[in-house]
């Protein structure tokens, strides 16, 4: 009396019958692989009736979807919008930079102005700079440099 036993560590769906090895009961041989999935596992292997085990970095019923944030390479994290669009997120106090991936502090924003009325604030990486507004030129008044 031969008994079918799954061979652990081998390819899924293969069983040993005495000294021989073939597809387990209910599985079928498809090009040398034992499968029970009618639809192919695109980026994974079939492990049971219509069940795929996805390779790292993939998900979905047929392992044909990439994980949410991996493709974006967000600095902190991301969220899925109602329309399914992915966007990177930044923690409170930081805002999304122009590259739409990294987070930055905007030193120009705040409750108090950082530049005089004749100057405009420009955010830089880790700091800010005050530049003369349109119609003003950089010059000296007394011992200080200012926009006039």
d(CA 39, CA 20): 28
Residues 86 and 117 occupy one common structural domain: no
pLDDT of residue 82: 66
Regarding whether 85 and 111 lie in a shared domain, the answer is no
- Domain of residue 99: give its range: 68-104
Residue 9's Cβ-count burial label (10 Å; 0-12, 13-18, 19+) is: exposed
Cβ atoms of 89 and 78 within 8 Å: the answer is: yes
Burial 80-103 (b: 16+ CB within 10 A, else e): eeeeeeeebebeeeeebbeeeebb
pLDDT computed for residue 1 by the predictor: 35
- Which residues of the chain register pLDDT less than 70? 1-11, 57, 68-70, 80-84, 125
Same domain (yes/no): 50, 72: no
* pLDDT in the model for residue 133: 92
Q: What is the pTM of this model?
A: 0.36
Residue-level pLDDT at 84: 61
CATH number at residue 77: 2.10.25.10
Length of the chain: 148
Query: How many domains would you assign to the chain?
Result: 3
Rounded Cα gap, residues 45 and 35, in angstroms:
9
Q: Are 11 and 30 in contact (CB under 8 A)?
A: no
Running DSSP on this structure, what letter comes out for residue 59?
B
């Amino acid at each position: 009396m031969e008994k079918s036993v799954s061979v652990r560590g081998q390819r899924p769906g293969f069983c040993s019958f005495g000294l021989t090895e073939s597809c387990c009961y209910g599985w079928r041989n498809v090009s040398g692989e034992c499968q029970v999935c009618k639809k192919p596992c695109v980026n994974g292997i079939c492990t049971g009736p219509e069940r795929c085990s996805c390779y790292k970095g993939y998900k979905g019923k047929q392992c044909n979807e990439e994980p949410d944030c991996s493709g974006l390479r967000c600095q902190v994290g991301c969220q899925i919008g109602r329309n399914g669009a992915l966007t990177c997120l930044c923690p409170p106090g930081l805002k999304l930079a122009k590259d739409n991936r990294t987070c930055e502090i905007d030193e120009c924003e705040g409750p108090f102005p950082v530049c005089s009325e004749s100057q405009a604030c420009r955010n830089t990486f880790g700091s800010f700079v005050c530049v003369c507004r349109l119609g003003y030129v950089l010059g000296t008044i007394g011992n200080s440099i200012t926009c006039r």
